[in-house]
Structure 1
């Protein structure tokens, strides 16, 4: 059994880590890389709970129950808090950080993306398990300018004293996010989390976004569209979601998420209302 540093949440973390099959020894970067990739493959990114209108606690008991035990999916403030707590308990030197998502091309977006910064062998890495379908599946060094590759994906890191910009170069050119290197407390993350799932105009409150990355395939639901990108074959398939039952089947088959009919009805209705409003 894993020996964790003394922690009131050790039981939750032991249960979480028992879900994975990792050969690399704890304390190595290889272990972190394997944990990151396996977490992303097992636990889906999802805005379903954020669309329900109820407060989502980040307290460990509620968080691990929702995300790990019930496998309801979650977004960055949930996934990356789980990863942070696990790595911290295993003795890694980690701290939370906040970033501006840059996918829209806007540079003045709020800092509403949580990541984990890992200090290892005199280098700093970003470890991210909560960035949806574009999430890198390995730690990326962020203490110097460089380009790094993971399979068909190529990333560029640009550093200043206060910020780090992480961009995707291949298979498409896209700025992912800009990490603020200032010290961050859990209370700062709570503010971003509250806005992201409680503000009436927040993206995840109004849009259905579900994704999972596993074995070279990236699965995505964006409102009423299902996409599957096969990175090895370099192919993409697309499907229009036309019913609640179809949505439930896709969630269970491709995202390992089982939601109630009531929850699915609410999400699907909300998406349709928003789409009609945009079209009108």
Structure 2
């Protein structure tokens, strides 16, 4: 990431260049990123070849504000922290949401080493993304503003489990040396495989402070985690979808692409019923 790119990125996050590069700044960055840049499968749904070259992914997610998923969001955060002098590198994990422990490694996170301690950074796990650094030196309970998590650490891996408000294993990260080429292979599977969730379904999320916005195909759900308020809206047409994508998820998607995605999501909804 270049200096001018970092300046633009921080400006869009509402952050200043840090006077001290410490964990407090990383925590700020995590919260600001997931509040500003939405998780989105829109590009993956359209059979686009989504390059992870630094300038290309920065242009797509930050400059054009098209959203993305773990391979895009976590790479941008890693590049920003690298530019600031942090010791960061990629890792891959197995998503456990379906209860299977033999899933392929298709989730990218960032390993941060800071003052002899190790942490995971994740801004790309959709609506279940932790709003905090994940310490992994040993097994530990952690909490963000609203949720509880448990990190189970062993020699080879760390398993992150959501513990409150409900219990759910999230992912299993292995500490094998991971290169960008490893991430490229997993990314290709996630956005090109014909059975990939992100190829077939509209999935959006954005997490503001104590608020979660999610869109699964044409069902938009708002949750206020402080007041427990929940609202559901079933999207009726492409015009309504365009408004929600722009106003709620802060994405700039061409009208023709939104129309195409709407038709695909509507077909998914009809198949479910």
5+ long unaligned stretches in structure 1: 1-6
Q: Quote the offset at 1:278 in angstroms.
A: 4.6
1:183-262 equivalence runs, <5 A: 183-262=177-256
Unaligned runs of 5+ in 2: none
Aligned 1:1-280 pairs, distance under 5 A: 9-22=2-15, 25-279=19-273
Which deviates the most, 21-30 or 262-271? 21-30
Counterpart CA distance in 1 for 2:227 and 2:138 is 32
Could you tell me how far apart the structure 2 residues matched to 1:179 and 1:248 are?
A: 36
**RMSD (CA atoms):** 1.4
Matched residues in 1 for 2:20 and 2:64: separation? 26
Q: How many residues in Structure 1 have an aligned counterpart in Structure 2?
A: 272
Conserved? CA contact 2:69–2:124, under 8 Å: yes
Contact residue 217 and residue 268 of structure 2 kept, 8 A: no
Q: Normalised by the size of structure 1, how large is the TM-score? A: 0.93
Any conservation in 2 of the 1:248–1:258 contact (CA below 8 Å)? no
Deviation at 1:18, TM superposition (A): 2.8
> Residue 44 of structure 1 contacts residue 73 of structure 1 at CA under 8 Å; is this kept in 2?
yes
TM-score, with length taken from structure 2: 0.96
Asked whether the 8 Å contact 1:26–1:90 carries over to 2, the reply is no
Aligned to 1:4: none
Look up the SS of the partner of 1:148 in the other structure: strand
Give yes or no for contact 1:44–1:211 (8 Å, CA) kept in 2.
Answer: yes
Mean CA deviation greater in 235-244 or 224-233:
235-244
- Kept in 2, the 8 Å contact 1:126–1:141? The answer is yes
Structure 1 residue 152: deviation in Å? Answer: 2.1
CA distance in 2, matches of 1:38, 1:152: 16
Shift of 1:106: 1.5
CA contact (8 A) 1:22 1:31 kept: no
1:109 Cα shift? 1.3
